[in-house]
Structure 1
Amino acid sequence: MAKTIDYGNLMHDAMRGLIRKVLDGVAKDGLPGDHHFFITFDTMHPDVELADWLSDRYPEEMTIVIQHWFDNLDVTDDGVAITLNFGDSPEPLYIPYDAIRTFVDPSVEFGLRFETQDYDVEEMEGDEIPHDAEVKSFERKDETDTSGTATDGPKEAEIVSLDKFRK
């Protein structure tokens, strides 16, 4: 039995399960309403599959948009396969959930960010154990600030780290 409960990895698994469930619903029923997704992933992950010209163009990470045109969306327990249009050229992609760095649905101001670092939790103690999972909660700012003037700056994101909940 482990010395500690690895809440960071448990949270990552839960968040990836949420992504799988959302994409599975889209595969079955299509995108509802104004929903659309920005998914950033690690193109160097060993299980990512994409055309050579895409990996050459995006050697570290790539952000895809699932919105107007996509085809062959296939959601599995380990990842998602999809065909997207790149300059009038349909390209198949396979993205394992472990390669996903961010998942954002701007239509409802929801986002997840995964910090991917390797730690040997068994050899760490107490406060040394990092909890890298972060959940972004995007909140709309008021249309006017306290002085009554309109604000037209970008919306701010509140990032909630799991460290907040550690004792």
Structure 2
Amino acid sequence: MGGRLARVFRTFNVENRARREISKEKPTPAPRHPTPPQDELADRPEIQEEISKKDDRLLTLLKDVYVESRDSSVRVKDGGGEHLPRSQEEKRLTKLGHLGELDVKKVPKGKISLVEALTLLNNHKLQPEVWTAEKIAVEYSLELKEVHSLLEFFIPFAVREFPKDTKKAIKPT
């Protein structure tokens, strides 16, 4: 019920209110500051001289200024809980795969490249008694808990071919 009443007041005398608003005198914009044309600046040599002149007083003040910059993104806590900046991170060389130039050459410690991940998963799948979680953690500088999670939740693709002699096989026509 309140919506109907609000609509009545909103639509009441709409045309007259619109005409009154349109017929109001619009405010005039502030005058623009006149700028001299570029040709006029080129004709007046005193302006060109003023532009190119060096102020010795300002130059001596500028020589006294010393700026010291510090990177605010690097925060070092006692206990070393935060990562080092990228330039200071410990990196290790990767075990290069068959992609050659496309492979990542260096990886931060505690991480592995995609080629390495697929390689270690495949090695573990083919020889689980040789490639144990402990050996993988030492070989690739990873935490043992992360290696256990990796081996449990990620499974490399396996291609299987089914024999074509079965009854359900599609026969070529």
TM-score by length of 2: 0.18
Question: If each structure's strand is expressed as a fraction of its own residues, which one has the higher value?
Answer: 1
Larger-Rg structure: 2
TM-score by length of 1: 0.18
Question: If each structure's helix is expressed as a fraction of its own residues, which one has the higher value?
Answer: 2
Structure with more contact order per residue of length (Cα contacts < 8 Å, sep ≥ 6):
1
